[in-house]
Amino acid sequence: MIYLDNSSTTHFKPLCVKWACLQGLGKYSVNPHRSGNNIVTKAEEKVYECRELLAEYVGTTPDNVILTSGCTMSINIALNGTIKKDGHIITTVFEHNSVLRTLEHLHSTHNITYTTLEPNKNGQISTKDIINAIKPNTYMVIINHVSNVTGDTQNIDAIGKICKKNKLIFLVDGAQSIGHENIDMQKMNINMLTMSGHKGIFAPQGIGALLLNDVKVTPLIYGGTGTYSDKIKQPTDIPDGIESGTPNIVGILGMLAGLKYTIKKQKYINEKIKQLTAYTRDQLNNIKNLNLYSPINNAGIISFTIKGIDSSEVSNILDEKYHIATRSGLQCAPLIHKYLGTTKNGLTRVSLNQKNSKQQIDKLIYAIKEIIQDINKR
Quick: pLDDT tens for 315-346: 999 999 999 999 999 999 999 999 999 999 99
One domain, residues 273 and 256: no
Give the C-alpha separation, 179 to 270, whole Å: 8
One domain, residues 237 and 360: no
One domain, residues 335 and 202: no
Of 212, 229, 260, the residue that ends a domain is 260
One domain, residues 204 and 230: yes
SS3 category, 267: helix
Q: What is the pLDDT of residue 34?
A: 64
One domain, residues 40 and 165: yes
Of 233, 260, 287, the residue that ends a domain is 260
One domain, residues 276 and 142: no
Span 251-274, pLDDT tens digits: 999 999 999 999 999 999 999 999
For residue 239, give its domain range: 15-260
Looking at the 3D structure of the chain, how many domains does it have?
Answer: 2
Of 206, 241, 260, the residue that ends a domain is 260
One domain, residues 33 and 181: yes
Q: Looking at the predicted structure, is the pLDDT value of residue 51 above 80?
A: yes
Give the C-alpha separation, 93 to 53, whole Å: 32
DSSP 210-268: EEESS-----SS-S--SSSTT-SSPP--TTGGG--S---HHHHHHHHHHHHHHHHHHHH
Q: What is the CATH number of the domain that holds 149?
A: 3.40.640.10
Give the C-alpha separation, 29 to 39, whole Å: 9
Identify the CA nearest to 326 among candidates 303, 359, 357.
303
* pTM given for the model: 0.97
Q: What is the CATH number of the domain that holds 296?
A: 3.90.1150.10
One domain, residues 45 and 150: yes
One domain, residues 218 and 288: no
Span 84-121, pLDDT tens digits: 999 999 999 999 999 999 999 999 999 999 999 999 99
One domain, residues 256 and 272: no
